[in-house]
Structure 1
Amino acid sequence: MQENRYSFIRTTQTESPQFDLLLEKVDALNVWPEYILNDRINMEYWERIYYEFPLFQFFLMDGDVLVANGNCVPLYLTKSERQNLSDRGWDWALEKAFIDKDKQSKVNTLCALQIAVNKNYQGQGISKLLLRFMKAIAREQKLKDFILPIRPSMKHLYPLQRMEDYMQWINEKGQPYDSWIRTHLNNGAKIVKVCKESMFVDGTVKQWEEWTGYTFQSSGKYIIPFALNPIEISIETNRGVYIEPNVWMQYNLDD
């Protein structure tokens, strides 16, 4: 991989044509299913991170082509919070970033929320560049810790298995079975714990049918594409709920 062909961009000029074009390119990288995008915390806060935390969002370019983008937020964590990261994982981190900002808390932790890589550049070690850049951001901003609630990339193939069990699976080489867990461990991260309620999506039965293209005519659990757990449908209450587990990981910034 020729690293010098790529360039990182961070922009605080959020009203510039360049910024608007970058966001359009980021939207084109989106691989999330519609139901994930309807997580309440995501809907409330996500678009604001580019405007309120611009130094923590970045774009990796190959000329005019968007190779990847990364999204982080700064947090203030007490010693107790660092030692017992929230079971609400991704939702907690995104919401807390804005709460801490409103309180003008002295942030001390970087939390990565997303890494998205252009499909034409996958399998080329791009994620290693992005993680290295995230570490550089943490050091630049004088943050002490770097954490992230990751979504194991192959867990959706095994939605009936507990995350606590799945994250310990190994492949024929004795390495972590999940490719995304393996990537982070190979880059120096450690597994901290499962965050059992990292994302929470609640909607009517009709909304779930629109989000998934499925029909739900009986109460019970359903397996749907890309979900890490089954969803729970209740015809009686006209609700559907999806609770997604992620895995908290942590990097050593001294590496």
Structure 2
Amino acid sequence: MDAHDTTITTLAERPELRDALWGMKTTWPAYVPHDPVGWLLMGRIAAELSEYVLVATDAAGEVIARGFSVPFALRAEGRGELPDRGWDQVLLWAFADLRHGVTPDTVSAIEITVDPGRLGQGLSHRMLAAMRENARARGFAEVVAPVRPNAKHLEPAVPMSEYAFRTRPDGLPQDPWLRVHVRAGGTIEKVAPASMTVSGSVEQWREWTGLPFDTAGTVTVPGALSPVRCEPELGHAVYVEPNVWVRHPLTK
């Protein structure tokens, strides 16, 4: 794919792409969309904050990548620190601020997803750059991101507090997606230990993963960044996902 054949716009500029945006193939594990905060609010980003949604199309007009972000007031009273509840909390703050007319001071990345057939072509880099530029053009001085490191699932038992700060000999993060953020100008700040929570019955987890979920304790689930806690006698299992907060200062 020639980079010049890719067009990145906001959904506000091309609202006709909304259905294609949701129809794009992704690599998300089946259980991730069952985080209740995301289930409730992701659709509202496209509907109510479409100027913060990015859509990449190829020369044929097919949607090949998407990016969601939200504006929120990080410096509002009672906030100030990037939250331990990461992804979930920033979504709740953003829509609370929108409802109450609170002026935002920061943009948070929520998702950057590339069509599986287009991976390895530099699209994630371009989408992150476009998200930063979109926020800068709207007058913001900072983008923050609760990053889901894309190789962490290979080591689910390793604490994120260890994994997130591993570096290569050149000083860049060992994790590929964290490395993209740092190369783009971001700084790793802290771990969000409870960024997303997915709970369900053991029957639901069996359906999502194809695993038996019949033994008490931790279960290693494909794609998960940490083990899932299974309580078969109680009939449920819970996944609490850690993410990594990265700050991106923007130049005017």
Shared fold (TM-score, shorter chain, > 0.5): yes
Match of 1:232 in 2: 229
What is the rounded CA distance, in whole Å, between the counterparts of 2:50 and 2:88 in structure 1?
19
Q: Which residue of 1 aligns with 2:41?
A: 45
Question: What's the CA shift for 1:40?
Answer: 0.8
The corresponding residue for 2:58 is: 62
- Following superposition, the deviation at residue 148 of structure 1 comes to 0.5
Are 1:29 and 2:17 matched, yes or no?
no
- Once residues 118 and 82 of structure 2 are traced to their aligned partners in structure 1, the CA distance between those partners, rounded to angstroms, is 33
Match in the other structure for 1:126? 123
In 1, distance between residues paired with 2:94 and 2:80? 18
* Partner in structure 1 of residue 174 of structure 2: 177
* Contact 1:205–1:216 (CA under 8 A) maintained in structure 2: yes
Q: How do 1:1-255 residues align onto structure 2 when only pairs under 5 Å count? A: 2-12=2-12, 18-23=16-21, 26-63=22-59, 64-78=61-75, 83-171=80-168, 174-254=171-251
Any stretches of 5+ residues in structure 1 without a counterpart? Answer: none
Separation of aligned partners in 2, 1:138 and 1:13: 15
Output the CA distance in 1 between the equivalents of 2:168 and 2:77.
Answer: 35
Percent identical pairs in the alignment equals: 33
Change (3 A) 1:157 1:49: same
Whole-Å separation in 2 of the counterparts to 1:172 and 1:78? 36
Moved over 4 A (4+): 79-83
Q: Taking structure 1 as reference, are residues 128 and 216 closer, same or farther at Cα in structure 2, changes over 3 Å only?
A: closer
8 Å CA contact retained: 2:54, 2:131: no
Is residue 109–residue 144 contact of structure 1 (8 Å, CA) maintained in 2? yes
Structure 1 residues 54 and 142, CA, compared in 2 at 3 Å: closer, same or farther? Answer: same
Q: Distance in 2 between matches of 1:6 and 1:176?
A: 28
TM-score, structure 2 as length reference: 0.92
Which SS does the other structure have where 1:49 is aligned? helix
**Residue type at the aligned position of 1:165:** E
| Kept after mapping to 2: 8 A contact 1:29/1:116 | no
- CA distance in structure 2 between the aligned counterparts of 1:185 and 1:81, rounded to whole angstroms: 29
Q: 1:20 to 1:143 in 2, by over 3 A?
A: closer
TM-aligned CA deviation for residue 13 of structure 1: 7.7
CA-based RMSD of the aligned residues comes to 2.1
In structure 2, the CA distance between the partners of 1:109 and 1:6, relative to structure 1 (3 Å rule), is same
SS of 2:24's equivalent in the other structure is helix
Instruction: Give the total of aligned pairs.
Output: 251
Decide whether the 8 Å contact of 1:13 with 1:19 is kept in 2.
no
Conserved? CA contact 1:201–1:243, under 8 Å: yes
2:179 partner letter: R
Q: 1:172 to 1:139 in 2, by over 3 A?
A: closer
- Deviation of 1:141 after TM superposition, in Å, equals 1.8
Unmatched 5+ stretches in structure 2: none
Shift of 1:236: 2.5
> Could you state the TM-score of these two structures normalised by the residue count of structure 1?
0.91
CA distance in 2, matches of 1:197, 1:52: 26
